[in-house]
Chain A
Amino acid sequence: KNQVEQSPQSLIILEGKNCTLQCNYTVSPFSNLRWYKQDTGRGPVSLTIMTFSENTKSNGRYTATLDADTKQSSLHITASQLSDSASYICVVSAGWTDKLIFGTGTRLQVFP
């Protein structure tokens, strides 16, 4: 069964600190892996999209890594800001039709 699991479920950090969110997946055939940010009461917004051949991709203070062999991905947030408080969702695209399999997300809270 295609699954995407994320850890931790929730995380609290102080402003300015770094953090890393984890994503493990069992999706076949793998097409690409995406990280989305979802603010409370809003729709998800794409941060990165990585294909099988990409190991790392950055978007400002967000850096995603992908290990296709171990089927793991991480999202590293550098120098966190209060505006980083949100849910971060790992999404894996399956097959040729780009069907999206969503993780349950990690809820990040950044405090001053």
Chain B
Amino acid sequence: NAGVTQTPKFQVLKTGQSMTLQCAQDMNHEYMSWYRQDPGMGLRLIHYSVGAGITDQGEVPNGYNVSRSTTEDFPLRLLSAAPSQTSVYFCASSYSDGMNTEAFFGQGTRLTVV
């Protein structure tokens, strides 16, 4: 059982480049989300989805796009990378957005924008 799989694990981008961080889960979870983790700060929600075809913004959505065409996949797109987007990105999934549901996290993608 793979759980939540993120690719790539590491990435270096030049300012202005675009890229897509991939996230896939094999647990048939409805709820998926993207977070970024920066030194000295807690994880912050970028975007989330409560099911295929439904997405919404989190706390820090600027500069990122998402889509949810299938239950399994939830890619995060950086439209024009900026040094401020240097961070570690985590994808998470859970059964629903209801109460007391455990969230499962991927291994993270460490992104550096130069």
Contact = CB atoms under 8 A, between A and B. Distances in A.
Contacts, number: 54
Interface of A: 4, 31-32, 41-46, 49, 51, 89, 93, 96-105
Chain B at the A interface: mostly helix, strand, loop or mixed?
loop
A11 B17 CA distance: 40
B106 A4 contact: no
A43 B99 contact: no
A94 to B, nearest CB: 11
Contact residues on B (Cβ < 8 Å of other chain), bracket: 20 to 34
Contact of B100 (A32, A101, A102): A32
A31 B41 CA distance: 22
B111 to A, nearest CB: 14
B53 interface: no
